[in-house]
Amino acid sequence: FSYHPRHPHLPTSATPFPHCSPGTSPGRLPPFPPPKTLTTPRTAAMEQANPRAGSARNRKVVLRDYISRAPREDDMALVDGGAVPLRVPEGAAGPAVLVKNLYLSCDPYMRGRMRDFHGSYIPPFKPGSVIEGLGVARVVDSTHPGFVAGDIVSGMTGWEEYSLIDKPEQLNKIQQSDIPLSYHLGLLGMPGFTAYVGFYEICSPKKGEFVFVSAASGAVGQIVGQLAKLHGCYVVGSAGTNEKVELLKDKFGFDAAFNYKEEPDLTAALKRYFPEGIDIYFENVGGPMLDAVLLNMRMHGRIAVCGMVSQHGMTDPAGIHNLFCLVPKRISMKGFIQSDYINLFPQFLDYMTKHYKDGKIAYLEDMSIGLENAPAAFVGLFSGKNVGKQVVCVSQE
């Protein structure tokens, strides 16, 4: 990749060391038997593997049925997938990698995959099949020349203990270091890269500008705010509890922060924190907050639309009333998907690793222990229960 003037190319990468903290309650068992086949990864193929190989029980979390509301724990079920051979099946269609999942990522975009909707950038889950998401895993067996047993990898995997990855070219090999492995699902993974791309590529920041970040204590928001501070901007964040507000100021270095639930008038609140207006808004919530921001934007302001978590549980999403502000204020408002900028990932990894090791970027994750706690951890995203990046520790082995 070529050098980009807005992304200083800084030293090298890395990762490892599992660590966990208490989890929550498991989802209820399903009224139906465990499914015989799954999409990616393919458990059926595993069951045809070399019979001389060792085997292990494979619990997994499956989606019961499509939903059109906010997710609940009982929308998912923990099932026993039976014994799986610990070898890539000899009859596999192409190179494949069998992995033992160590950490799973809970991300808001997964809510969209629980709908019976096929017009998105990523297809929906299939009822009765294993839920898929980003994870960190250890290679157990491989027929792909780029991976060997013992390698640590990150990429799309199943919410289960063992997964057969039939597109191993989409996995990233992790070079282990003194950074916890789970950080490759946040700081050094998709959320961190989303923050990096959204702030530098979409927002085109200038030193001294006024930056507002909603859902600022989440996996993406906490990093956006710190990038903005490193760039010399004035940064304010919003969050849903006073504990999170204090974290934004004390741990992540935001200039100011507020609890949006305690503000009866969001437009007035933003005017109080930004008397001269907002240059950059990193949008994570949508709804009334976006409407209030539009009234407080400065001339030629930029809005990076990363997500709208307030709208995820609505069958009839709320409309926006103040879009006309885009015209007289010449505001640029753009949605983005981080994967469109994948060519920037190596320099992002170098940049973020160096700043984290130098103590210039702090990071906070919320770890639940055990696959059985994955449904509760995921559901908690939509009521703000998590503090930091939500991750599930499946195994430390």
Q: What is the pLDDT of residue 47?
A: 38
> What pLDDT, on a 0 to 100 scale, did the predictor assign at position 385?
87
Task: For the chain, count helices (H), then strands (E).
Answer: 8, 15
pLDDT at 362: 96
pLDDT for residue 42: 40
What residue type is assigned to position 151 of the chain? D
Specify the DSSP element, H or E, that contains 369.
Answer: strand 365-369
CA distances from 206 to 31, 38, 223, 268, 290 (A): 56, 48, 17, 25, 22
- 47-101 pLDDT per residue, tens: 333 344 599 999 999 999 999 888 999 999 999 999 999 999 987 788 999 999 9
Output the CA–CA distances (angstroms, integers) from residue 334 to 202, 282, 305, 318, 326, in the order listed.
Answer: 7, 10, 6, 19, 12
Task: Give 12's pLDDT tier (boundaries 50, 70, 90).
Answer: very low
Mean pLDDT of the chain: 86
Structure confidence by residue, pLDDT tens digits, 309-340: 666 555 566 778 999 999 999 999 999 999 99
Distance CA 102, CA 393 (A): 6
Beta bridge partners of 99: 139, 163
Q: How many CB atoms are closer than 10 A to CB 178?
A: 9
Domains of the chain with bracketed CATH: 56-186+364-393 (3.90.180.10), 190-343 (3.40.50.720)
Per-residue pLDDT tens for 121-145? 889 999 999 999 999 999 999 999 9
Spacing of C-alpha 73 from chain mean position = 19
382's tokens: 């939509």
Q: Is the peptide bond before 127 cis (omega within 30 degrees of 0)?
A: no
Q: How far is 344 from 342, CA to CA, in rounded Å?
A: 5
Least confident of 23-32, 206-215, 309-318: 23-32
The first and second tokens of residue 308, run together, are 């709208």
Q: What's the first-to-final CA gap in the chain, in angstroms?
A: 35
297-305 vs 332-335, strand pairing mode: parallel
Query: What does the alpha-carbon distance between residue 237 and residue 187 come to, in Å, rounded to a whole number?
Result: 18
Averaged over 350-379, what is the pLDDT? 96
